[in-house]
């Protein structure tokens, strides 16, 4: 009878030890997964202020796969807070079409608007959250940077982020010009880099 009790204790102890080891392994795997999750996306660019009118407008924002704006990181106040898109509908036409500022309150536009920046390197960070501060669900997102160069001449930079596949480091950026043959103010935005960070 005693031998039977000791054997049972040993088996139970071994089972408990195995269970603890499995839990530790699961926790380690979870921690590894958390470390592999993208924590932020950094957008940097060199900006040169142009001397012409109908220029110097910039917007940086994030869209989901359906083209819905998840978060606007920055938009120049002429277009947004001052509702300049009503006066000049070509100003940041891509952002205006996606963000639909007509449906936003003045306070909402104020919160995302900034004065036309000074020359130099500009940097913006997306912390993987939406406008309400909640982390976005897994999926594919588009990081977009738009510049109004001169009247109808716009440039749009786009980078794709897949929360489950994108690795840390630089992300490929594609450029599209509304008027490829119009070289007026084309140096306004240069050296754009979009980088995924795991910390």
Give 136-182 pLDDT, tens digit per residue.
999 999 999 999 999 999 999 999 999 999 999 999 999 999 999 99
Of the listed ranges 34-48, 132-146, 184-198, the one predicted with least confidence: 34-48
pTM of the model: 0.82
Biggest CA–CA distance in the chain, Å, is 97
Q: Tell me: the pLDDT tens digits for 48-80?
A: 999 999 999 999 999 999 999 999 999 999 999
Structure confidence at residue 199 as a pLDDT band (50, 70, 90): confident
pLDDT at 8: 46
In this structure, what token pair is assigned to residue 26? 């699961």
Bridge-based pairing of strands 57-63 and 140-150 is antiparallel
pLDDT at 31: 44
CA–CA gap between residue 123 and residue 121 (Å, rounded): 7
CA–CA gap between residue 93 and residue 66 (Å, rounded): 18
Of the listed ranges 2-6, 122-126, 142-146, 175-179, the one predicted with least confidence: 2-6
Structure confidence at residue 25 as a pLDDT band (50, 70, 90): low
Looking at per-residue pLDDT, the higher value among 16 and 28 belongs to: 16
| pLDDT value at 185 more than 70 | yes
């Amino acid at each position: 009878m005693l031998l039977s009790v000791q054997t049972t204790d040993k088996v139970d102890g071994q089972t408990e030890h195995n269970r603890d080891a499995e839990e530790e392994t699961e926790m380690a795997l979870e921690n590894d997964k958390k470390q592999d999750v993208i924590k932020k996306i950094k957008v940097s660019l060199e900006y040169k202020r142009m001397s012409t009118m109908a220029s110097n407008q910039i917007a940086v924002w994030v869209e989901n796969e359906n083209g819905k704006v998840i978060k606007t990181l920055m938009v120049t106040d002429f277009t947004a807070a001052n509702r300049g898109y009503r006066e000049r509908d070509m100003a940041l036409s891509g952002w205006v079409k996606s963000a639909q500022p007509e449906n936003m309150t003045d306070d909402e536009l104020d919160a995302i608007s900034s004065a036309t920046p000074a020359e130099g390197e500009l940097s913006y960070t997306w912390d993987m959250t939406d406008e309400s501060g909640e982390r976005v669900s897994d999926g594919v997102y588009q990081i977009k940077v738009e510049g109004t160069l001169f009247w109808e001449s716009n440039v749009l930079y786009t980078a794709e982020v897949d929360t489950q596949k994108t690795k840390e480091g630089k992300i490929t950026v594609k450029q599209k010009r509304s008027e490829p043959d119009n070289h007026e103010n084309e140096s306004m935005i240069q050296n754009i880099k979009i980088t995924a960070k795991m910390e």
